[in-house]
Amino acid sequence: MKIDFYGAAGCVTGSSHLLNINGKNVLLDCGLYQGRDEKERGNETFPFNPKDIDYVILSHAHIDHSGRIPLLYKKGFKGQVLCTEVTKDLCSVMLPDSGHIQEMEVEWKNRKRERQGLQTIEPLYTAKIAELSLYLFTGYKYDEVIDVYDGLKIRFKDAGHLLGAAIVELFIKETGKEEVKVVFSGDLGNKNIPIIKDPSFIDYADYVIMETTYGNRVHENITDELAQLITIIKDTFKRGGNVVIPSFSVGRTQEVLYALNNYIENDYLKDVKVYVDSPLAIESTKIFEKYSNLYDDEAKSIIDKGDNPLEFDGLLFTNSPEDSAKINKIQSGAIIISASGMCEAGRIKHHLKHNLWRKESSIVFVGYQAEGTLGRSILDGAKKVKLFGEEIAVNANIYALQGLSGHADKNGLLEWVNGFKKKPKEILLVHGDMEARLNFKEMLDNKGYNSRIINFGETYFINDKEAKLSVREKLIKYIVSADIENMDKETLLKNIESILE
- Render pLDDT for 76-134 as a digit per residue (tens, 0 to 9): 999 999 999 999 999 999 999 899 888 888 887 888 888 888 888 899 999 999 999 99
Q: Are residues 28 and 102 in the same domain?
A: yes
Whether residue 487 lies inside any domain: the answer is no
CATH number of the domain enclosing 293: 3.40.50.10890
Backbone angles phi, psi at 400, to 5 degrees: -130, 115
User: What is the full DSSP assignment across 47-74?
Assistant: SS-GGG--EEE-----HHHHTTHHHHHH
Which burial class, exposed, middle or buried, applies to 13 when counting CB atoms under 10 A from its CB (0-12, 13-18, 19+)? buried
Looking at 356, 386, 404, which one is the last position of a domain?
404
Residue 498 lies in a domain: no
Strand partners, 147: 153
Predicted confidence (pLDDT) at residue 467 exceeds the cutoff of 60: no
Instruction: End-to-end CA distance of the chain: give it in Å, rounded.
Output: 22
Q: Please name which of 289, 213, 220, 217 lies closest in space to residue 258, comparing C-alpha atoms.
A: 289
| Sequence-separated (6 or more) residues with CB below 8 Å from residue 24 | 54, 55, 149, 151, 152
The rounded radius of gyration (Å) of the Cα atoms in the chain is 22
- Residue 255 three-state SS: helix
What pLDDT does 110 receive?
A: 82
374 in the same domain as 285: yes
Query: Is 280 strand, coil or helix?
Result: helix
Share of the chain above pLDDT 70, in %: 92
* Boundary residue ending a domain (348, 373, 404): 404
Q: What is the CATH number of the domain that holds 93?
A: 3.60.15.10
Strands (E), 260-351: 273-277, 315-318, 334-338
Residue 488 lies in a domain: no
The answer as to whether 492 is a domain residue is: no
More confident residue, 282 or 43: 43
Q: Span 155-166, mean pLDDT?
A: 95
Q: Could you tell me if 230 and 42 are in contact, meaning their C-beta atoms sit under 8 angstroms apart?
A: no
**Residue 466 above 50 pLDDT?**
no
Q: How confident is the model at residue 465 (pLDDT cuts 50, 70, 90)?
A: low
What distance in Å separates the CA atoms of residue 29 and residue 9, rounded to the nearest whole number?
12
Pair (377, 292) in one structural domain: yes
Question: What's the CA gap between 47 and 411, in Å, rounded?
Answer: 34
DSSP for residue 402: G
Residue range 41-90, pLDDT digits in tens:
889 999 999 999 999 999 999 999 999 999 999 999 999 999 999 999 99
Same domain (yes/no): 23, 153? yes
Q: According to the model, what pLDDT value does residue 253 have?
A: 83
Whether 262 and 177 share a structural domain: no
Return the top range by mean pLDDT from 120-129, 151-160, 468-477.
151-160
**Where among 348, 378, 404 does a domain terminate?**
404
For residue 240, what pLDDT is reported?
Answer: 94
Clarify whether residues 411 and 399 are in a common domain: no
Both 400 and 410 in one domain: the answer is no
Q: Is the dihedral of CA 397, 400, 403, 406 positive or negative?
A: positive
Spatial distance between the Cα atoms of 249 and 447, rounded to a whole number of angstroms: 38
Mean pLDDT of 15-20: 96
In a domain, 479, yes or no: no
Query: In this structure, is residue 199 part of a structural domain?
Result: yes
- Same domain, yes or no: 207 and 230: no
The stretch 320-335 carries a mean pLDDT of 89
**DSSP state at residue 118:** P
Beta pairing, strands 397-400 & 362-365: parallel
Say whether both 197 and 328 belong to one domain.
no
State yes or no: cis peptide before 340, omega within 30 of 0. yes
Q: Report pLDDT digits (tens) over 388-424.
A: 888 999 999 999 887 777 889 999 999 999 999 999 9
The answer to whether residue 346 sits within a structural domain is yes
Whether residue 227 sits in one domain with residue 174:
no
Whether residue 229 is found in the same domain as residue 190: no
The whole-number pLDDT of residue 483 equals: 62
Domain count, the chain: 2
H helix runs in 266-342, sequence order:
279-290, 297-304, 321-327
Q: Is 421 exposed, middle or buried (0-12, 13-18, 19+ CB in 10 A)?
A: exposed
Which of 181-195, 233-247, 338-352 has the lowest average pLDDT? 338-352
pLDDT of 240-253, one tens digit each? 999 999 887 777 78
Residue 347 lies in a domain: yes
- Closest residue by Cα to residue 133 from 30, 52, 44: 30
Label residue 486 by pLDDT band (50, 70, 90): low
Predicted local confidence at residue 439, as pLDDT: 94
Same domain, residue pair 311 and 415: no
How far, in Å, CA of 199 to CA of 187, rounded?
Answer: 10
Q: Is the four-CA dihedral 371, 459, 425, 141 of positive or negative sign?
A: positive
Query: Distance between CA 474 and CA 262 in Å, rounded?
Result: 52
Domain range holding 134? 2-217+406-468
pLDDT above 90 covers a percentage of the chain that reads: 53
pLDDT mean over 12-40: 91
3-state secondary structure of 145: strand
Please state, as a whole number, how many other Cβ atoms lie within 10 Å of the Cβ of residue 297. 7
